[in-house]
Amino acid sequence: MASDSRMVALGFGKFARADRIFALERITGEERGDGRRTRVWIDGVTDPLIASRTEITILRDMGQESAVNAPELDEAMDLAARLAAAAEAGRVDLSDLGRRARRLLATTTPQEGRPRQPALR
């Protein structure tokens, strides 16, 4: 099997070779936010890098689509996290949240004659 040496963007100018990434961990709770989405463990690097991209997006870029089971769930979780953060900060943009929610719902509801589409980012 050939080695996959493509570069994967982790965000904020950070890149890693796909064949050197050996673990991804979603950051949750209060640690998540402000560009902190995923811990990325890379062979030869002692501490994980903090990526501003979700683990699902990184997996897709690595060519691991089969490992991604529910892109809609990731989008819904991101939407919920944004809403919670905006509500705490007292600045909820209902127009933007409504648009994102409609787009997410459209991707999870198959329309006649059209297969279900992946969530847009």
Residue 79 near residue 101 (C-beta atoms within 8 A): yes
Amino acid at 32: R
Residue 18 near residue 8 (C-beta atoms within 8 A): yes
pLDDT in the model for residue 17: 94
In angstroms, rounded to a whole number, what is the distance separating the alpha carbons of residues 107 and 117?
Answer: 5
Place of tokens 């062979």: 43
Closest C-alpha to 98, from 110, 86, 112: 86
pLDDT in the model for residue 119: 43
Which spans in 13-70 are helix H?
55-61
User: What does pTM read for this prediction?
Assistant: 0.55
Q: Does residue 43 carry a pLDDT above 90? A: yes
